């Protein structure tokens, strides 16, 4: 039913010509050679980089990503996740499917976490079956704490979850089925350890590779490596109009229950945000090491590199200080794609690009099937071709208690509509109200918009989040 979401033509966004000559069978002909067309040596390598809780406006401390990825590829300024929570989002990234299809709604059981994920068909198994050498380095799924190596991975270096919420130091990894502990010395800093494993994999592998690189950063509480202490600060913390919004009388009950920001709370959130941002230069350096390894092994010119995050996060917007919410801060993520045979330099695209689009994009360029994937391949957009594209997408969440109420909704190119388990609704005209300050659900001028988006939500949100019963109309 998601395929029935409205599409609209997307004009070519590239400012330079791209040598796309034809689409041929399972592969794409670029400048006279076949990419993704079966078992040849020209199959592209793939590097998928997924940070943790990095919102779209947290790219400033990452000059390598900005210059060597965004400057050589395409930035999707409207990059989104369809469920703004870590584990559900990662399940969607690995499969190209919405939460109502993966069954992964939460970070914990029931209906979430590693135990709830069906791993027999993922982008790793698709590529491994086609002869790719594959590696996961970093965070796999929340509540993974075993020595189990999921199917499809030749190398598996995964964080083991424990009672700790800090996985920068004093953590354990499962390395190809064996437990390896790390301590609190500077050389144990997890981003650097992951970078070492990733670099070693790229340099030692033969043929085309698939590397899924997933650092813990910038997840809170941020721990900064000693070499970056004092590297980043700010004169004034960001203060959007929605920061600890004063009048929330038009918001749903879960927001109205949130306390207004007192000075101590605001100061704590400012420090938390700064500490998270300070973890990103190490991630940037890790990206540089991976790019250098790709270049040294002759792969860089034929590697699809994707940089994104599993969800955004709020730092006091609408009084909220976490993720899960159907607001822009939580839904938006950075999304940068470089693939030299296809992308022009420094392009910014406006299309709605989702985390569920990554698996089908990878599959198309690798020349493999993406069974069950519900997203859309980004390849036409990367190539600058005019194509029919979505004008909206389903957002969904099982919520948590206390906090966000379960919801389904529709985020379009102009509006956000949300229907909560309680029956409460929100509607925002993002052109007129980009900070989502005025809930327009009762505005007579938008009655037709509300009716259309409600109908689209009810059609797409099936099955609904566990425990949520959809109205009959």
- Active-site amino acid positions: 86
Instruction: Name the residue with tokens 């202490």.
Output: 229
Beta strand 347-349 pairing with 74-76: parallel
* Rounded (5°) CA angle 295-297-302: 65
Distances (CA, A) of 226 to 182, 231, 282, 284: 17, 10, 11, 16
* Alpha helices in 343-429, H assignment, sequence order: 358-366, 379-382
Tell me the longest C-alpha to C-alpha distance in the chain. 63
- Identify which of 353, 284, 304, 276 has the alpha carbon closest to the alpha carbon of residue 82: 353
The secondary structure of 19-87 as a DSSP string is -EEEEETTEEEETTEEESSSSSTTPPEEEEEEESS--TT--TT-HHIIIIIGGGSEEETTEE-SS-SHH
CB 372 within 8 A of CB 3: no
CB neighbourhood size of 422 (10 A): 13
């Amino acid at each position: 039913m998601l395929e029935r979401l409205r599409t609209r033509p997307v004009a070519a966004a590239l400012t330079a010509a791209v040598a796309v000559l034809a689409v041929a069978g399972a592969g794409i002909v670029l400048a006279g050679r076949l990419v993704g067309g079966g078992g040849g040596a020209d199959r592209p390598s793939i590097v998928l980089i997924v940070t943790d809780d990095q919102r779209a406006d947290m790219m400033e401390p990452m000059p390598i990503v900005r210059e060597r990825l965004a400057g050589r590829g395409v930035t999707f300024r409207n990059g989104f996740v369809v469920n703004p929570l870590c584990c559900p989002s990662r399940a969607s990234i690995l499969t190209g499917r919405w939460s109502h299809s993966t069954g992964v709604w939460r970070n914990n059981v029931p209906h979430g976490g590693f135990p709830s994920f069906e791993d027999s068909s993922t982008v790793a198994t698709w590529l491994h079956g086609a002869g790719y050498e594959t590696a996961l380095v970093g965070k796999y799924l929340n509540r993974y704490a075993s020595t189990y190596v999921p199917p499809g991975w030749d190398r598996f270096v995964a964080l083991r979850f424990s009672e700790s919420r800090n996985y920068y130091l004093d953590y354990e990894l499962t390395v190809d089925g064996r437990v390896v502990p790390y301590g609190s010395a500077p050389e144990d800093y997890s981003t650097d350890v992951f970078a070492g494993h990733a670099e070693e994999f790229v340099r030692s592998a033969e043929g085309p590779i698939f590397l899924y690189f997933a650092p813990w950063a910038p997840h809170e509480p941020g721990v900064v490596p000693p070499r970056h202490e004092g590297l980043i600060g700010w004169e004034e913390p960001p203060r959007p109009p929605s920061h600890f919004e004063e009048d929330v009388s038009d918001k749903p009950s879960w927001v109205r229950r949130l306390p207004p920001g007192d000075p101590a709370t605001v100061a704590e959130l400012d420090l938390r945000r700064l500490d998270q941002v300070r973890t990103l230069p190490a991630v940037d350096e890790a990206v540089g090491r991976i790019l250098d390894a790709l270049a040294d092994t002759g792969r860089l010119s034929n590697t699809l590199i994707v940089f994104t995050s599993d969800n955004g996060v709020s730092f006091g917007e609408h009084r909220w200080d976490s993720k899960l919410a159907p607001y822009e801060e939580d839904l938006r993520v950075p999304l940068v794609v470089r693939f030299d045979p296809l992308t022009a330099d420094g392009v910014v695209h406006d299309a709605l690009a989702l985390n569920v689009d990554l698996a089908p994009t990878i599959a198309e360029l690798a020349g493999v099937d993406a069974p069950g994937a519900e997203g859309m391949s980004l390849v036409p957009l990367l190539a600058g071709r005019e194509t029919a594209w979505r004008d909206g997408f389903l957002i969904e969440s099982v919520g948590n208690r206390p906090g966000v109420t379960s919801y389904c909704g529709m985020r379009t190119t102009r509006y956000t509509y949300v229907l909560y388990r309680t029956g409460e609704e929100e509607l925002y005209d993002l052109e007129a109200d980009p900070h989502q300050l005025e809930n327009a659900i009762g505005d007579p001028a938008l009655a037709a918009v509300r009716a259309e988006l409600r109908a689209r939500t009810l059609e797409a949100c099936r099955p609904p989040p566990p425990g949520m019963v959809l109205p009959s109309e």
